[in-house]
Each structure stands twice: as structure tokens, then as C-alpha cells.
Amino acid sequence: MSEFVPGLAGVVAARSAISFINGTEGVLRYRGIRIEDLAAKSTFEEVVYLLIEGALPTRTQLAAFDAELRALRGVPEGIFALLRALPTETHPMVALQAAAAAMGGFYPHFDVSSRAGNREAALRLTACLPGIVAGFDRIRRGLEPLASKPELSHAADFLWLLNGEVPDAQETRILDLCLVLHAEHGFNASTFTGRVVASALANPYAVVSAAVGTLSGPLHGGANEEVLNMLRTIDAVADVPAFLQGRIDNKQKIMGLGHRVYKVKDPRAGVLQELAVALFEDKGSTPLYDIAYALEQEARVKLGGKGIYPNVDFYSGLVYDKLGFATDLFTPIFAVSRVSGWTAHWLEQLEDNRIYRPTQQYVGAMDAPYTDIDSRGA
């Protein structure tokens, strides 16, 4: 029998040309391009084009692609009716997963042999998820969902749909940068889930709904919420050493530190940290950042030798919190970005598809006798 590998760690499950990660050196590339360069020079729309089409667009290509995305932003009223039927205390990720699956009812796409139809579905999902997330947030606050403003960029329109105010250039750039950083990250749990569902030739809305469900877990996308909750339990910078040592002694997970792939600081965490510093300089600092920075420095001394450093979730929650997002929206914002990577992987999976069917190592009973129901006791 094959060797059992818990969590499939290190098992090569597919070939992909979408992103490259070197966890030892802290490298992340989309289609071969360094994430630091994309974060500094490209918009989210450019990155979506890169992931879906395979190369960065020319100005003409970007304009046409951006126009396609803007034209597909409208969320069906029936989706909002579904969201209104949910209890207001529903977690936004639950609402998003349900709505993503329901999109398949409004835009049926079961013939995934159609390349043109597949591409349109991928763009529709990327275009509509911001409206779904913002729409549910407004509904649960007793407000009506807003119509998209086609003159706004993807990031700016999302902020408008959430807050009912056209954002300024700094807020737009910050969110756009966060979307770029979270767009794609190889065979993470949610992407792998999506590819497994895709391999069965399921419709793209089922693929994304399944990926959203995986992302909702606290060991994946939900970690950014947990980081902020953890930081709020530390009263002051002076309490950081005792807090960290207590977690280490009790073998408790320290949210935002450590990664299954990176053994150095996540390159996205470095970009987000610079973003957080610039944001706080402009809008006022927060004690939570000082605590987070102190925790990173303390952890570097005590855990760096084990390859445990900040991941992308460590600073993203601080940025979102300063922008005024509700904590339970952090992971849905992650999904608004990562849907571009999920759909790129869906399209790639279909190019040379084979349904996933791993084996197992059976450890149960063998040749167990059958006992008649009357002989099994009360």
C-alpha cells in the first residue's frame, strides 16, 4: 500500500501554471511574476486578467476586460431575497456560500465544455461576489442593498456597496492592494476543494460554493478574524512575553503565526505590514498594531528557529479593522479576492481533467462477524 501522508503534506496532486511558492525563501509568484511587483504596480483587475488569461494585459485588453467585469456586477434580486430569508445573526460566510451555490439557479451552466461559457461564468463570479457580501451585510443591518456604480473600480465599488459612500483614493488603493495579495496561493485547502469539485465536472457556482465553505474554517480564511480576537485579549505590549510563553507552554496555536508552506515570513505579510504602518500614520495608530508588532518580535526570538513567522492573516485584520470593516467580514473579503484564483484553477482543471479519486489506508476491523439485530442487545 502507498505511504500514508497526513494532510497530503508534500504530495503532488496536479500540475499548475498559475502560481509558484517557495516556502523556504519566502517567494510567491502569480504566473511567474513576484507578488511584491504586482502589489506595487498592478490593480486587482490586472491581476484577475493575469490569472484567467495567463499574462498581464495591454492597456486596450485591460479596458475591454474591465468593462466586461463591470457589466457582470449585477446581483439578481432573487439572491437578495434568499439573503433576506436568513437569520440576521447568520455568519456572512454562511450567507456567501449559500448565495454562491444559488447563483447556479439564475445562471445555469452545466455544460463545462463551453470555453466561452466557462470564461463568462468565471468573470461573473468575480464580479458578483462583492455585491453578495455587501448586500448581506446591509440586509442584516436593516438597510437595502445598493446598486453597483459602473464608473467605479472593483475595489471602490465594493466599498460603495458596503458603506453607501464613494471611497477616497487611499481607501480604494488599500483595499485593491489587499485583493491583489489574497487573489491566489497555490493548492491551499479551499483551492484544492474547488479543484476536486471541478474534477467531477460540477457547475462553477458549486465549485466556488464548496471553496467558500473550506475558506470559512478557522485554520484557513477564518484565521484573520481569530488574529484580531487574540490580539484583543492582550492588554498591553508589556503583557506580550507572558502571553506568548503561556501559549507555548500550553501548546496552544498562536493565530497568524506559522504556515504549512512558509518557513520564513510570508511575503504578503511584509507588504500588509507596510500598508498598516502607512495607514496608521495617516489615520492614527492603534494599540493593537503595537501589540502585534511586539508579538512578532517576541515570536521571532522564541519560535523563529522552528520556522514560525507571521503569515498573511497576521496583519490583514488590523488593516481591515482600521478601515471600519466588521470583524466577521474579514473572511468574506478574502473570498471576494480569492474567487479569482479559484476560478483560474477551475478553468485549468478542465483543460486536462481527471476526477480526483485518492485511495485510503484502511485501519478498521477485518472479517468482522455479522450479528443479527435480535442478538445485539437492548
Neighbours of 89 (CB within 10 A): 6
Reduced to 3 states, what is the DSSP secondary structure of residue 47?
A: helix
Range 204-207, long-range pairs (CB < 8 A, 24+ positions): 204/104, 204/109, 204/112, 204/118, 204/121, 204/122, 204/125, 204/343, 204/346, 205/100, 205/101, 205/102, 205/103, 205/104, 205/107, 205/109, 205/121, 205/125, 206/101, 206/104, 207/342, 207/343, 207/346
Starting at the edge strand found earlier in the chain, the sheet holding 33-34 runs 19-22, 27-30, 33-34
Look up residue 335 and give its amino acid.
A
Query: Would residue 259 show up in a list of annotated catalytic residues for this protein?
Result: yes
Ranges of CATH 1.10.580.10 domains, the chain: 14-217+327-351
Instruction: Give CA separation, 74 vs 79, 152, 161, 196, 282, in Å.
Output: 11, 14, 11, 28, 34
- Looking at residue 277, its amino acid is V
Q: What is the model's pLDDT at position 279? A: 83
Superfamily of domain 14-217+327-351: Citrate Synthase, domain 1 (1.10.580.10)
Write down the pLDDT at residue 319: 87
pLDDT at 192 (0 to 100):
97
pLDDT at 136: 98
The active-site residue out of 154, 182, 185, 259 is: 259
Domain 223-322 has CATH 1.10.20.60: no
Low-confidence ranges of the chain (pLDDT < 50): 1
The amino acid that residue 69 corresponds to is: L
In the residue annotation, 313 being an active-site residue is answered as yes
Q: What is the pTM of this model?
A: 0.91
Closest among 48, 317, 356 to 184, alpha carbons compared: 48
- Numbered ranges of CATH 1.10.230.10 in the chain: 223-322
Q: Which of 66, 176, 313, 321 is catalytic?
A: 313
- Compute the distance between CA of residue 95 and CA of residue 300 in angstroms, rounded to an integer: 38
Please give the pLDDT value at position 374: 92
Write down the pLDDT at residue 286: 79
Q: Average per-residue pLDDT in the chain?
A: 93
Position 92 scores a pLDDT of: 97
310: which DSSP letter? B
